[in-house]
Amino acid sequence: MTGRLICGVDEAGRGPLAGPVVAAAVVFETGLSIPGLNDSKLLSKSQRLKLTPAIIENVAGFSLAAVSHSVIDRINILKATLLAMRLAVEDLKIKPDIIYVDGNKEIPGLDIAQKTVVGGDRLIPQIMAASILAKVTRDYYMISYSRKYPGYGFEKHKGYSTAEHIRAIKKLGPCAIHRLTFSPINQMVIWENDGNTSQ
């Protein structure tokens, strides 16, 4: 008997100070088992990379979408995250029976039944798979950006607010992919502007 087609949706990159937010939508039947599947945050980098082809080769469908730092600054991170999720679902080549969304916010603008699941990336296999694809994809983006914008350490912290990253921003200033509305960058920009106007 064929199981229901479940879509899991999750994101990576809500919290960083730089780069895009990436969402993944992954669809597979209730009976499918992918050994080793777990929340991406509980897996090592090597485990995530090993699971990625296993997910892609075995699921009924998947899609990814990224929303840039500039859009995040313009519409805010929550709206940007939901936008990335909607774009990922809309790009699926297969229509699921239901969508499980990690968190407590439904994705606006979809005509498919949805259920929000707080902590879904530890409970729902389809969300676990989505969390892995989103994380691996976003990490790839940030490693690529590290070559374009050297000195910030994007290849290590992936844009998150580490002490090393904050030191680099203070030394070099924000680069083209930093989220200027995020603290403490917005405060640094304000201080810089205040200093410029007082001269």
- pLDDT tens digits for range 158-196: 999 999 999 999 999 999 999 999 999 998 865 555 544
Query: What CATH topology corresponds to 5-148?
Result: Nucleotidyltransferase; domain 5 (3.30.420)
Q: Are 130 and 8 in contact (CB under 8 A)?
A: yes
Share of the chain above pLDDT 70, in %: 93
Q: Where are the domains of the chain?
A: 5-148
Residue carrying structure tokens 């304000």: 190
Q: For residue 34, give the 3-state DSSP assignment.
A: coil
pTM of the model: 0.93
- pLDDT tens digits for range 1-21: 368 999 999 999 999 999 999
Q: How many whole angstroms separate alpha carbon 90 and alpha carbon 112?
A: 10
- pLDDT tens digits for range 59-98: 999 999 999 999 999 999 999 999 999 999 999 999 999 9
Q: How many whole angstroms separate alpha carbon 52 and alpha carbon 47?
A: 9
**Residue 175: CB partners within 8 Å, gap ≥ 6?**
18, 149, 152
Q: What pLDDT does residue 2 have?
A: 63
Find the DSSP H helices in 28-160: 45-58, 69-75, 77-90, 125-148, 154-157
Q: What pLDDT does residue 188 have?
A: 82
